[in-house]
Structure 1
């Protein structure tokens, strides 16, 4: 699996992402999910996993950069989607990965809302807590990384609260489109019709966890053969755990409905307009086999962002952080290095 040739992006005048040469830990092992715990947010609490900083992989820790990152999963995902990428990025980042309300181990909000506005609010609340966390990098903005629905939420957060965000990485973000991808099932299509989300809830609840995992793998990965057996087993265990949560299906279907509803917003609330106003340096990562969000949007989004760069990955699907963690990590690290270099050149404010 390699980065697509530069001509893919040069033809449309888009800046290609730089890849960091920083030493990375071995990716041969399959680490277990990182531990975590509840964090208070408006309307309840969310479960957040923590990946501690390790320092450079070559052991040269003196004077090494130590920054903070927050990872936001996509629709139907969880904080465990970031296990491998967070392990690689721990050479530079203390990492936090949250389960959005109603997903993973997070309970729904008190009012049970799954709108994009609610997910954005949860991300802002966690970011504020990370910035305030004591220790090195306290008070500094955070490197924000989001996938799919989490990518869209991260984009909106960065546009509204640039003071919290040092850099932004968008992995196949669920940008507004007005043609439903063919990969979506008929069950999810029911959500587009008024008055029938309960039917979708029932149909999805009847799908066995094993079948859900198989469907997820086929839909989200460019080449399912790349998935380690241990990761598939973990995904099945998570799906079985989700099956025991009374709110799980509702969180998925209502979040999908909230996502589609957000596409209809106009004016400053529109995600494409928000992209044009972004201040943080931004990395766009996309797999050219993404079946859920059209890869053709990748250069368009990168061009829309004032300080954007694109990493297009050959043979990769919708979840590059899981399918191609090492090239994704190198692009994220390069972005952080560039941000640090720019900050070092800027004169101190009076």
Structure 2
């Protein structure tokens, strides 16, 4: 099944123990696979992909429980989606790729690159979920939300309450206000597409449970920092780590600590940018990625 998407991409489905949706943006050159974060989808990449297709074949996958890849009984934790990514790369792409991961997608991409180095040529991390150094203060709103997600029953109540009587536009804007330093930088077409996706997902069963399982898994993986840092040290491909200094979900001190532990990684920090630089400054990120991938 294929569906035409905006921004020149074609939406497709592949059967990986159930339908998995991805967008093929086309392009010529070595393949790049884009991996979204918690609560994200292929839409997170629609502004960045056009900057890459002149040099690469570009695909964006919807992980299980997100976008148009519905759970269908599959696990949605970090390890489960790492296995899904592994199969996607093997069965859809079929050759080594450059992975570009944001937030949870960055975490999944790190774990995959550490475990399957033969399938990855380079790793670009945009505000990845990485451990917080001791003494780091988390944004109060973020801390409250993830604390609620960890409590059985309370997490689902919080998600349901957040939707009750709230228009799709307001729901989208609320998320953008959290992940962006200035949500006004996000074009209206992304807001409208996000509203449409929200409405498509409204009747799909099990999405709250899928989100909560993924959220708890991200927290657990980050909390077991020794094991996670060990995985980072096993990555043998070039790594480009990008982080916004106004990221409310993953404090910039976390990225600085990860960069310090891995001095071979290239680290770049962007002033006045939040958690999703690919939406906030897609032209800049696209230019940097193309140059970095060409110069490796």
- Contact 1:33–1:80 (CA under 8 A) maintained in structure 2: no
- Cα distance in structure 1, aligned partners of 2:141 and 2:122: 31
Residues 185 and 260 (structure 1), Cα distance of their counterparts in 2 relative to 1, 3 Å cut: closer
Residues 207 and 312 (structure 1), Cα distance of their counterparts in 2 relative to 1, 3 Å cut: farther
Q: Which runs of no fewer than 5 residues in structure 1 stay unpaired? A: 1-30, 56-65, 133-138, 340-350
- Contact 1:200–1:253 (CA under 8 A) maintained in structure 2: no
Q: Secondary structure of the equivalent of 2:32?
A: strand
Compare 95-104 and 241-250 and name the one that shifted more. Answer: 241-250
Residues 107-163 of structure 1 deviation map (CA, whole Å, 9 limit, x = unaligned)? 2143x422211011111111112442xxxxxx4x10000000111000110111111
Q: Secondary structure of the equivalent of 1:84?
A: coil
Residues 123 and 231 (structure 1), Cα distance of their counterparts in 2 relative to 1, 3 Å cut: same
Taking only aligned residues, the RMSD between alpha carbons, in angstroms, comes to: 2.1
**Which residue of structure 1 aligns with residue 3 of structure 2?**
none
Counterpart pick for 2:43 among 64, 67, 80: 80
**Which residue of structure 2 aligns with residue 32 of structure 1?**
7
Are residues 1:174 and 2:129 paired? Answer: yes
- Contact 1:76–1:252 (CA under 8 A) maintained in structure 2: yes
- Cα distance in structure 2, aligned partners of 1:280 and 1:175: 18
After TM superposition, the score normalised by the length of structure 2 is 0.89
Cα distance, 1:194 vs structure 2: 4.8
Are residues 1:235 and 2:198 paired? Answer: no
**Which residue of structure 1 aligns with residue 58 of structure 2?**
95
**Which residue of structure 2 aligns with residue 67 of structure 1?**
30
- Contact 2:75–2:81 (CA under 8 A) maintained in structure 1: no
Are residues 1:332 and 2:295 paired? Answer: no
Compare 200-209 and 142-151 and name the one that shifted more. Answer: 200-209
**Which residue of structure 2 aligns with residue 121 of structure 1?**
83
Q: Secondary structure of the equivalent of 1:184?
A: helix
Are residues 1:250 and 2:224 paired? Answer: no
Residues 67-107 of structure 1 deviation map (CA, whole Å, 9 limit, x = unaligned)? 10100001111011111211110011111111110111102
Higher helix share: 2
- Cα distance in structure 2, aligned partners of 1:306 and 1:107: 39
Bigger Rg over Cα = 1
Residues 250 and 207 (structure 1), Cα distance of their counterparts in 2 relative to 1, 3 Å cut: farther
Are residues 1:211 and 2:195 paired? Answer: no
Residues 32-77 of structure 1 deviation map (CA, whole Å, 9 limit, x = unaligned)? 3722111222x32310110111x5xxxxxxxxxx110100001111
After TM superposition, the score normalised by the length of structure 1 is 0.76
Are residues 1:148 and 2:100 paired? Answer: no
Q: Secondary structure of the equivalent of 1:155?
A: helix
Correspondence list, 1:245-324, <5 A: 245-265=204-224, 270-305=227-262, 307-324=264-281
- Cα distance in structure 1, aligned partners of 2:145 and 2:243: 26
- Cα distance in structure 2, aligned partners of 1:326 and 1:282: 20
Q: Which runs of no fewer than 5 residues in structure 2 stay unpaired? A: 1-5
Counterpart pick for 2:141 among 175, 178, 183: 183
Are residues 1:220 and 2:179 paired? Answer: yes
- Cα distance in structure 2, aligned partners of 1:182 and 1:71: 29
Counterpart pick for 1:50 among 11, 19, 24: 24
Residues 32 and 338 (structure 1), Cα distance of their counterparts in 2 relative to 1, 3 Å cut: closer
Count of residues in Structure 1 that have an aligned counterpart in Structure 2 = 287
- Contact 1:72–1:150 (CA under 8 A) maintained in structure 2: yes
- Contact 2:138–2:248 (CA under 8 A) maintained in structure 1: no
Are residues 1:202 and 2:160 paired? Answer: yes
